Structure 1
Amino acid sequence: MNRALLKEQRIHGNPMYPVSSYVMEDLDYTTIMDCHWHEEWEFTIVTRGKVKFQIGTEYYEVSAGEAMFVHGGELHAGYRVGEEPCAFSAVVFAPEFLSSRGYDALQDKFIDPLLQKKVLPPAFISRNEAWEREVLALIAAVIADNERRSPAFELTTKARLLQIFAVLQGHMREQAQVSPAGDREKVERLKTVLGYMHEHYPSPIKLGELAGLLDMSEGHFCRFFKSMVHKSPVDYLNRYRIQQACRLLETSGHKIVEIAMEVGFDSLSYFISVFKQHQGCTPSQYRKRLAGTAAVQQAFGYSGPLVSERQ
């Protein structure tokens, strides 16, 4: 089983500038960020509403104006809190972007301990303390520079990221203080199950099959899975299959019934029902929207996302 399938496949930035910024607005569905991980580091700042972020086995309720830090390799997800739509912005960057070209005191004293996870920045950054407000302002400035492509934004981004970690130096935690070995084991076991789902989703997957991966009873496994992912195994698998169906609707000319079978549904009517539950429309309507939106985007030279996903 290839556990790496759970790893996010998106490329953030490019080798010369391994940094990307993202602005997500008017999110009115429950799961705004599925469980995933990537090697890059990430700062996410909530700009509207309230979001419950999961990092490993820990949960943080983050309000507008507050932020999260996610270290490389950490499983993380996000869930809207309440009925109000939420929004967030993020900057995702390769940690090596902060490294010195040659080995020096900065690399030895500050960067290497972060890269080796000997120390970790706080995961949650509120607005309570002056140092937190300084960090929040710097995160917002980094994202704004990258969105606007301000003059010398690459230089100001690196300078501000280094300044952020300079401010955070007095608030680092040692790895042993962060999460017990038992919690880390839970995350690794969850990665095993999710990776298996991502690899085998086109085929029938039975609950007992998943429970057997962790040597659990079906009941124990369902409780474990829902406590970690906030969904039942069936709900998570259906959501993942619908995501793959959307990709095929966007990139192939396959018939709807063929796509249903390719992503693991053996009933067309059930596929359409689940698709509508997640996307708010039928697969045929989704494809028609794509065609219309693509024509408008081509006319205006826009290359952003075509249709936002609902939950």
Structure 2
Amino acid sequence: MHYLDYNEKQAHGTADFPLAYYYVDEHHPRYHMPFHWHKETELLRVLEGQLRLSLDDREYVVSAGELIYIGEGVIHGGEPENCIYECAVFDPQPLLMHTHAVRRYLYQIQRRQIQILMRFTQKQPDILSRAETLYTSLRKKSSGWEMTSLGALFELYGIVFAGEYYTPCASENNAEGRLQQLKPVLEYMELNYQNPITLDDLSRLAGMSSKYFCRFFRAVIHRTPIDYLNYYRVERACYLMAAEGISVTEAAYQCGFNDSSYFVRAFKKYRDMTPRQYVQRLGKSG
């Protein structure tokens, strides 16, 4: 999964079957997960190690075997710690809402009347069992895998409602409204990271004073705005070097670093290695 766009626009699966599977390890060009969101639902399972994951204003350290439910529009990002994880990304509306009996349940999620638990552990073995069936089907793609995958998804949602693995949503949620104010900020970074961006630019987009915006941004993203902008620029540079074979110098320039020495310092800060070392490691793993 690329995780390139904050408001991710890539299609997941096909028009006929909008369900896609992604396996992500340290060799994946987007191993680190910048903050983003999408209209699809995502089920993420850690296979090895740990993943430090932020979901809106909550933070989790997810261990091997645990499952994360990421609903539509949730701002999420993560930092792996010797981690391998897999994702199933799907659009419930065309995939699951074929009958009124099903729609009346899933509309409760879509209309934000309920919030499904974001984290499932060994305390919910029934959910983890259906997730295992789903991921196995998506990985192997044996004959009939589409039906097996759909069946696992239907069962998983059925268990959510039978076990009441959800909480009612308040009719008005000020915290959620504040989180929505971050989305234009993140989109602006995505579209303009190659150019100079100031704190005043970002705080104006959020409709906040610079001082309050810094506090709010850090509370949600766990970095200052400028620190996160530089982190995102480095991640974009990594993608360009890994996926498109662009040189270190060109990647730095395309990602808003006009000073090569500053690029090297920033890269070492976020990746614990120089850009040259990163490229050399790519060559060894290729």
TM-score by length of 1: 0.77
Within the candidate set 150, 168, 171, 1:174 is matched to: 168
Contact map agreement 2:5 2:36 (CA 8 A) in 1: no
Structure 2, unpaired ranges of 5+: none
CA RMSD of the aligned region, Å? 2.8
After superposition, the Cα gap between the structure-2 partners of 1:244 and 1:88, relative to the gap in structure 1 and judged at 3 Å, is closer
Within the candidate set 107, 125, 138, 1:133 is matched to: 125
Query: What corresponds to 2:71 in structure 1?
Result: 71
After superposition, the Cα gap between the structure-2 partners of 1:48 and 1:247, relative to the gap in structure 1 and judged at 3 Å, is closer
- Residue 222 of structure 1 deviates from its aligned partner by 2.0
Within the candidate set 73, 95, 98, 1:97 is matched to: 95
Identity %: 29
Aligned to 1:23, the other structure's residue is in SS state: strand
Query: What corresponds to 1:87 in structure 2?
Result: 84
Query: What corresponds to 1:160 in structure 2?
Result: 152
Query: What corresponds to 1:124 in structure 2?
Result: 119
Amino acid of the structure 2 residue aligned with 1:97: L
Are residues 1:268 and 2:263 paired?
no
| In structure 1, C-alpha distance between the alignment counterparts of 2:159 and 2:247, rounded to whole Å | 55
Which range moves more in the overlay, 283-292 or 261-270? 283-292
Are residues 1:142 and 2:134 paired?
yes
Aligned to 2:241, the other structure's residue is in SS state: helix
After superposition, the Cα gap between the structure-2 partners of 1:184 and 1:204, relative to the gap in structure 1 and judged at 3 Å, is same
Number of residue equivalences: 277
| In structure 2, C-alpha distance between the alignment counterparts of 1:37 and 1:187, rounded to whole Å | 12
Within the candidate set 232, 238, 245, 1:246 is matched to: 238
Structure 1, unpaired ranges of 5+: 295-311
Amino acid of the structure 1 residue aligned with 2:66: E
Amino acid of the structure 2 residue aligned with 1:20: A
Contact map agreement 2:34 2:232 (CA 8 A) in 1: no
Query: What corresponds to 2:213 in structure 1?
Result: 221
The structure number with the bigger radius of gyration is: 1
Q: Following superposition, which runs of at least 4 residues in structure 1 exceed 6 angstroms of deviation?
A: none
- Residue 281 of structure 1 deviates from its aligned partner by 4.3
Which range moves more in the overlay, 275-284 or 66-75? 275-284
Query: What corresponds to 2:62 in structure 1?
Result: 62
Aligned to 1:176, the other structure's residue is in SS state: coil
Are residues 1:195 and 2:187 paired?
yes
